[in-house]
Structure 1
Amino acid sequence: MKILAAFSGLFLWLSLASAEAQQGLKGEYYTGTNFERKVFTRVDPQLNYNWRGRSPAPGLSKSYYSIRWTGKLLAPAFGEYRFYAKVDDGIRIWVGNKLVVNSWQLNDSKDFSGSIFLEEGHFYDLRIDYFNDMLEGEIYLYWQRPDARKTSLNPFNTPGDLITSQYLFQKAPPVRAPLPKTPLPAAPKPPVAVVKTPATVIPPTRVAQPISKPTLSPVSTKPVTTSAPISAPPLLKAEPEPVRVFEPGATVVLHKVQFEQSSYILLPESSTELDQLAIALKENPLWQLTIAGHTDNIGDPRLNLALSENRAKVVAAYLRRRGIADNRISTNGCGGTRPIANNDIETERRKNRRVEITLKNEKN
């Protein structure tokens, strides 16, 4: 009975989690171009619609309607996301309560875009307002993710992919404690047959004793036995990681904070120095932090500027995950405009690819 109850509880938990984390966005369909009267509600897996010459939903005509989609958006990676919308007519998009796209006017099948920095694994409130005036209603929602290795093109020849239901939810999946495990009953042990046999007398045997060979000492002529064990040399202990000391007022380089080449994905060895910085910030709650990203002068200056900005934002996101309040951190990117070494020599140029921090005491 206990096993049956455990399986029943597991089934109920999975059912509730599936219902609460239903994929897609809640779409509310209204008559009029400014949400005058709601006539229909449904769950839309993605926004990929062309309603030319037809009604988008029961109770609506081919013209003069508005739609509001709401739900949660899952960010699959750290970095800057660029959202695109191709619409006829008006569009507004909020991600995490930030308005990233706003063109609330008549548009003849045009593209609009906006950017926002998101953290990996987080769910963000998503709201899309849309209206169509006369005929030819259409809306397509797509994005360009920071972890895309190759630039993909959607049907409109714009970088990015349609946002599918894999990343759209009506609610964020619940975080639940794992169900207690019910131990299975132990299987009965098979009986062991005991067979009595007559005792056998084993005659005593003589064990040979080891004979230690004498060796001559280099100092004395007396024989010395080598029966004592030889001790191994002591193991060398690894040196502890030096603790970085941070003080307000100066701008310092985080030398161990490194990224993948031409990317803003943190390398694992960056964690030691960033964890020490997080500890220092927690111990000094009045400190404010400015993070600046820098690059060398190789490549397009505009891309270098964006790369430096995103690297600073990734460091800020790391510290927030370690408990540092967002209002204590500011970021900026300088691209290759502030070199500290010669860009003509690679060994020197890599010094320019850096992240700097400036600490300021709030009471000063």
Structure 2
Amino acid sequence: AEKENALIIAQQDLSTREQQLVAANTKLKTQKDEMAIQQQKIDDLIGVRTEIIRDLSTVFSAQNLKASVDTKTGDIVLESAVFFETAKSNIRTEGEELLNKFLPIYLSVLLRDEYKDYLGEISIEGHTDTAGDYIMNLELSQNRALSVAKYCLSLPSINENQRTYLRELLTAKGKSFSSPILNEDGSVNMDKSRRVEFKFRLKDSEMIVELNNILKQN
């Protein structure tokens, strides 16, 4: 009887272990499926960003505009001197003319059917050189970014559909001299540091690096 009881207990233990193994395998498969889905999302987002950057580079290289596209991020740098007098935030006529040409082209890429659903934000950043007080430059850069944003929203050269999207996506940020442009010797390039940048952010793009790191660990 003791042997039979021991055998029954052993069989029950084996059955329990088998059930646990099945549950563990099911959980592992679910995790792998979820990881595959996340990896696909990452691939899609990275692919979309790459395509947007390529298209922006293509259209702007064909235009005679004072704008440069960062081939890694898609950020577009416009020289501040084109827009503003020293220590001023009112846009110069030359700056208005540049925006009249620039913005419709920029939006014609970002708001394409294959891209617009991925867009989370279009930001305008004002940057200053390192001369003067940080807070003073923070206020100046914020006012400059806001001036550019206001002008962009009022542009007659964009259609109402583009304007609607822009209202939903557009932000204006002053960065003071928190991100100066440096020369090769490490010194600050004062002229290049004074700039306005247009940036786009894709939905969930903040998660890309974190998810990618998690997936690599697994």
In terms of fraction of residues, the more helix-rich structure is: 2
TM (normalized to structure 2)?
0.47
RCO greater where, 1 or 2, for CA within 8 Å and sep 6 or more? 2
TM (normalized to structure 1)?
0.30
In terms of fraction of residues, the more strand-rich structure is: 1
